[in-house]
Structure formats: C-alpha cells, structure tokens
Structure 1
Amino acid sequence: MYDIISAIILGIVEGLTEFLPVSSTGHLILVGDLLGFEGDTATTFKIVIQLGAVLAVLVLYWKRYMSILKDLLTFNFRASNKLNAIHMGIAMVPALIIYLIFKDYIKQYLFGPGPVLIGLIIGGILMIIAARVKRKVTAENTDDITYKQALGIGLFQCFALWPGFSRSGSTISGGLLLGTSQKAAADFTFIIAVPVMFGATILDMYDSRELLTGDALMLFLIGFIAAFVVAMLAVVTFLNLIKRLKLEWFAFYRFAVAVIFFIFVM
C-alpha cells in the first residue's frame, strides 16, 4: 500500500512539474528519496511515468502533430514553410545518441539527490544567462525556426540527460541563445517532447524488462495515470505561465529547492 501511495504522489509531482523548467526528473528523484522509493524499479518508474504527463502535450498539440505527420507521409517538408518532421528529427538525434552511449552511466551515477542538486543549480545559471543575453530574435513562432536552430536546440537538450537540468529549461535556454522567442522555444520544446519521451520510455522499459513484474507494472500504471490526469488539468495554465514569465523566476525557484533540500535533507 505504501508503494501505491508513493506512486500516486510521484505521479502528481510529475504532472505538476513536467511543463515547467524546474526538472520533473529532478523533483521525482528528490521526492522519491524523501519517500524511500528507490532502487532499479524506482529509477525506471521515474522515467516511464513522464510519458503520462507528456501525452497531455499530444492532446494539446494534436492538430500540429497531424499536420507534421501528413507532411511527412507526403514528403512535403519545407514547401509549406513551416515546422516539419525534419526539425523534430534533427532536434532529437543529439540527445538520443548521447543517451544510447551513456544510459547505463546516467542511471547508475546521476539518479541521486546529489547530482540533481548540482543540475538544478547549473541549469538555473544557464537559464539566467539565456534570459539576460541579448540576441536578435529571428524566430517569433515555431514555423520560423530554422533547421540550424532546431539542431542547436537539440544539442542543448543533451544537458537534460543530467537529472536536474530540466529538458524544457535546457531547450528553452538554447532557443533564446539561438535567436528564438521564448514562446517559440517553449512551443518547440513541448512539440518534440512526445517523440523524445516516448522513445526514451520504450528504450528504458526494454532494458529493464526483467523488472516489469506484475507488481511493478501496477505501480507504473498508477503513476502513469496520476501523471496524465494532473498534467491534463495543469497543462494549459502552466504552458501559458512558461511563455510569459522570465526564466529567472524559475531559476530562483530551482536555487531555493536545492538549498532547502541540501540544508534539511542531505
């Protein structure tokens, strides 16, 4: 019963933090540490339930995904001068390659409170730099994003493989430094979230297939549902929030979480 309660709590945490640049994975690791929910199964659980929250993005952006899929099937990539599957593909490749090479190291050494606190702080510094460095905005919305900018954002996404950095925080920071508006960077971040997280979840579940027993699958399902439901309730509000608030505010929150956890828990 305690594991079920922990799964629900972590699902709620995931649903509330996935859409903010505060690192949902980092929060899951820290809260999981407080709950004593740790081990190989817990590590896989924390990856899998993120897909529940990310699927809320699929619901929100389903028209955009259908448009991208239609263009892909008809090989109509740049003729319509809009975001397409090539943008998504080149943005996903860098992190995918790094993950495949270092996934065992990441799960063994970085899924702990200490690395998360480091990630929260360094990621917060990156966000402050991105928010304050002045760049000419060349992409006001996602359809203005170039292939070069998409690749650059994909490279910044590699930072998110370190729990605590935040995938949205890294990619939005990268977008700002590369000349996109914060709105365009946020939209692009969440559009590529579905294939990225789906791929990461499938790979991790395959690698951890021996852990997928009946009890573990039940916990995964409970956490998945909790994350999806909470994310569906929060997605629109939080996405509007991230597009309007300066990144510094989220960075300050990250610093506060890191300091509080370090003082009172570590």
Structure 2
Amino acid sequence: MSVLKAMLLGLLQGLTEFLPVSSSGHLKICEKLFGVEEIPLLFDVFLHLATLLVVIIYFRKEIAKFFLVLFRWITRKPAPQNDSCECLCMTDETGRKAIIAVIITTLITGVIGIVSSKIIPDLEIKYVFIGFFVTSAFLILSGILSRRQGEKEYKGITLIQAIVVGIMQGIGTLPGVSRSGSTIAGALATGVKRELAGEYSFIVSIPAILGAFLLEVKDIGEVTSSIGILPLIAGCAAAFVSGYFAVSVLMKIVRKGKLEWFAAYLIPAGILGLIFLS
C-alpha cells in the first residue's frame, strides 16, 4: 500500500468515525469506487486506535474525572468541595453511576458484536446503503423524541440508558450503521442531555476499540509486512488529524440538537448507492 493511499484511507476514517455516517461503510464504498483492494482488518483497527487517541485527548479532563471518582470510590475518600463540572462525573454519585453504566454498555455491545460476527457473514455492499437508512432513522427519531420530552435534570446515567446505548452500539457494528450516530441517538432518545450524550458515546467507544485491537493484535506482523511501517504511520497520522476536526464539529452540532442534518446526506447517498453500486 502506498503512503498516499494510506493517508487517504486515514483521512476518510478520521472524518467518518466521528461524524454519524459510518466509517466502515464509507471504507467499503471506497473499495468499490476506486478499486482499492480489501483493507486488512488490523490496518483498520490501527486507524481506529488513532481515532481513539483523539477521544482520549479531546475528553482528557472528563476521563481524568472518571479515574479520580474511581480512586475515591475504591479508597472511600470523600469528594473535595466545589468539585463539580458539566460532565458525566458532575459529582461522585453521578460519576459512580457513569462507571457502572460504561461497564454495562460495554458488556452488551460485546455480546452483540460477538454474536453478529458469527451469524452475519461479510455482506454485500447494498447492505451498507441500507445501513445508511437505518442510521438516518435513528438520527431523525432521536431528534423528535429528545425535543418532545426535553432534557431531564442529570442525576447520572441510568440502567435503562446504559442498556439502550449498549444495544445501539452493538447495532452500530453492522455495515453502514454509524456507531457514533446510533449511540448518541440512543442516549438522546432516553433523555440524556445533549452535550453529555456526545461525551458518553465517545467514552464508551474506548473499551470497544481497545477490545477490537486486542482481538486482532496477534496479526500485527502480517499488517506491517503487507502494508509497511511508513504507510501505517501516515494513515494513522491522517486519521488523527481529521478525527480531531470531526469530533470538534460533531460536538458543536450535538449541542445544537441538529444531528438529523446528517440524514440529508445519508438518505440521498443510500438511494444513489443502491441504484448505481449494488
């Protein structure tokens, strides 16, 4: 793989990983349109690791709060005074609920991901475009539901919210279905505040991406020999830069409550794809 091709794939991955349009779906379209050979799975996982670094840096303060709450929880130390912020760990109580919720969401996603990988084969590209319609429906419905019920006072991520987001993240592993779009939509639909819905979506992506990497890391020698170190570094660098830009844009859109804007792209793209590429 050339350095330029790796950078283009990294650029695409970074943008589509965070924008609710499905990164895996767009990579499949790229393969189809430009005759790109099938992208090695571990290379795709490395690109995901680059975008994971984006999440860690962008939400570094919120992640640090998680670890502080966990430390105080384990050591039974009291929370300091005036230690609150507009985040999932607003207080130690909401932080403990968020930690439990992340574990529940991750377990549910893992079960769905394992089952779907065993019973669902490598599907034809037409299913990517069907996935675009599914994502669009999630985005539109979550916008309607969140506006009707309003944003509830944040008292921590509830069990129901954790389960719903876990199921939605599991559905997000299917071709053409956006992980970020489905999880944010699920959080919004269950009453999570907009900025916290985006934060929770990306926090729960951390164990999901790390899990996928650990499952594929045994093939690291294969990917470095078939792709090369330089293209791998170039692809990851491009994914990081474009990913940071994308997550910054998405969080602004989430706060405005305008996620359905992306349906205006996904629906026409799905229709055109089914007509010309299926």
TM-score (norm: length of structure 1): 0.85
How far the C-alpha of 1:182 sits from its partner, in A, is 2.7
Q: Which of 213, 216, 237 matches 2:227?
A: 216
* Maintained 8 Å contact 2:195/2:251: no
Output the CA distance in 2 between the equivalents of 1:216 and 1:170: 32
| Partner residue in 2 for 1:95 | 109
CA 1:64–1:257: 2 relative to 1, 3 Å: same
How far the C-alpha of 1:3 sits from its partner, in A, is 3.9
Q: Structure 1: which 5+ residue stretches go unaligned? A: none
| Partner residue in 2 for 1:183 | 195
| Partner residue in 2 for 1:137 | 151
| Partner residue in 2 for 1:85 | 99
How far the C-alpha of 1:121 sits from its partner, in A, is 0.8
Q: Which of 31, 38, 50 matches 1:52?
A: 50
How far the C-alpha of 1:126 sits from its partner, in A, is 2.3
* Maintained 8 Å contact 1:122/1:165: yes
Output the CA distance in 2 between the equivalents of 1:139 and 1:169: 23
Q: Is 1:238–2:250 an aligned residue pair?
A: yes
Supply the AA of the counterpart residue of 1:96. Answer: G
Output the CA distance in 2 between the equivalents of 1:14 and 1:97: 25
Q: Is 1:201–2:199 an aligned residue pair?
A: no
Output the CA distance in 2 between the equivalents of 1:36 and 1:105: 28
How far the C-alpha of 1:34 sits from its partner, in A, is 1.9
| Partner residue in 2 for 1:173 | 185
| Partner residue in 2 for 1:164 | 176
Supply the AA of the counterpart residue of 2:223. Answer: L
* Maintained 8 Å contact 1:48/1:205: no
Task: After superposing the two structures, state which structure 1 stretch, 19-28 or 73-82, moved more.
Answer: 73-82
How far the C-alpha of 1:96 sits from its partner, in A, is 0.9
How far the C-alpha of 1:101 sits from its partner, in A, is 3.1
Supply the AA of the counterpart residue of 1:66. Answer: A
Spell out, residue by residue over 1:102-124, the C-alpha distance to the aligned partner (whole angstroms, 9 max, x if none).
32555x424x5222111111221
Output the CA distance in 1 between the equivalents of 2:143 and 2:43: 33
How far the C-alpha of 1:171 sits from its partner, in A, is 0.9
Partner-residue secondary structure (3-state), 2:227? helix
Task: After superposing the two structures, state which structure 1 stretch, 250-259 or 71-80, moved more.
Answer: 71-80
The structure with the largest alpha-carbon Rg is 2
How far the C-alpha of 1:56 sits from its partner, in A, is 0.7
How far the C-alpha of 1:50 sits from its partner, in A, is 1.9
Partner-residue secondary structure (3-state), 2:40? helix
How far the C-alpha of 1:170 sits from its partner, in A, is 0.9
CA 1:160–1:34: 2 relative to 1, 3 Å: same
Supply the AA of the counterpart residue of 1:148. Answer: I
Q: Is 1:259–2:271 an aligned residue pair?
A: yes
* Maintained 8 Å contact 2:43/2:223: no
Partner-residue secondary structure (3-state), 2:65? helix
How far the C-alpha of 1:58 sits from its partner, in A, is 0.6
Partner-residue secondary structure (3-state), 2:25? helix
Q: Which of 221, 228, 240 matches 2:240?
A: 228
Output the CA distance in 2 between the equivalents of 1:4 and 1:223: 7
How far the C-alpha of 1:217 sits from its partner, in A, is 5.0
